[in-house]
Amino acid sequence: MTDSPLLIEDRDAVRVITIHRPERLNALDSATIAALHAAADAAADDASVRVVVLTGAGPKAFVAGADIAEMSGLTPSEGRDFALRGQRMMRRLETLPKPVIAMVNGFALGGGLELAMCCHLRIASETAKVGQPEINLGLIPGFGGTQRLLRLAGRAATLELCLAGAPVDAARALQLGIVNRVVPAAELEAATMALATQLAAAAPLALRGILDCVNTGGECGIEEGLAYEAAQFGLVFSTEDMREGTSAFLAKRRPEFQGR
């Protein structure tokens, strides 16, 4: 659809989803949130897609935040509903059984940083800036910013970014653990696609097991997390991919995983 806020392109087993609202610096309005949720569902259901890359159109912004023009007129109950819709979409991406990589090509502020943080991995341009500036609008983060930032960067950094409302550059974001890698702007797409292609060649069921274990272990005690990991470890012994991977290793050849 020409009026869709997303551009979707499949590059072999990698699906690239681009938020295409450059005139609004890719701000998240209700239509974009709904489209992203639908795109996440579609990627999860498509067996040909093994990795998802999420980015924003244009060189200025990954996502500059939620759409302030839409939010400004909301009532308290409407504001809560808006936050819950955004949270559900981001939780859908976070629990996708396939790796999701955020390619952060510029500003990732407010809802933009929240969107990047719900992805499994984040590669940022050295010119990117990230932050939770909602305090400057008399607001607080509403799409999970306080919770995911706390888990990624810790209490002190979360309070600094949310209370002061000032963005940090990519180097500081890397230091805090908010992003995984920082690369020159000219190399961002190539670096992201190289990682995506590497992951797309890995065993899909093993990737899913790792994502499940990390998501589950991050929300429970160590004993429960270890028990879950052992159970998932046992399950992969039933897969053809496990037999292919071990056979290829012993035969000193490259494995060809089929997701079975």
Question: What DSSP element (H or E) covers 51?
Answer: strand 51-56
- 241-13-236 Cα angle (round to 5): 20
Task: Look up 126 and say whether it is catalytic.
Answer: no
Catalytic one of 78, 114, 126, 244: 114
Task: Look up 114 and say whether it is catalytic.
Answer: yes
- Strands, sheet with 168-169, edge to edge from the N-terminal-most edge strand: 61-63, 107-109, 129-131, 168-169
Q: CB of 253 within 8 A of CB of 240?
A: no
Catalytic one of 23, 134, 219, 229: 134
Q: What are the angstrom distances between the C-alpha of 143 and each of 88, 110, 197?
A: 9, 8, 29
Compute φ and ψ for 141, nearest 5 degrees.
-60, 140
Residues 155, 35: Cα–Cα separation, whole Å: 32
- Concatenating the DSSP letter of every residue in 231-242 gives HHHHHHTTSHHH
Q: CB of 107 within 8 A of CB of 155?
A: no
DSSP secondary structure code for residue 72 in this structure:
T
Which tokens sit at 18?
Answer: 């681009």
Q: Which residues are catalytic?
A: 114, 134
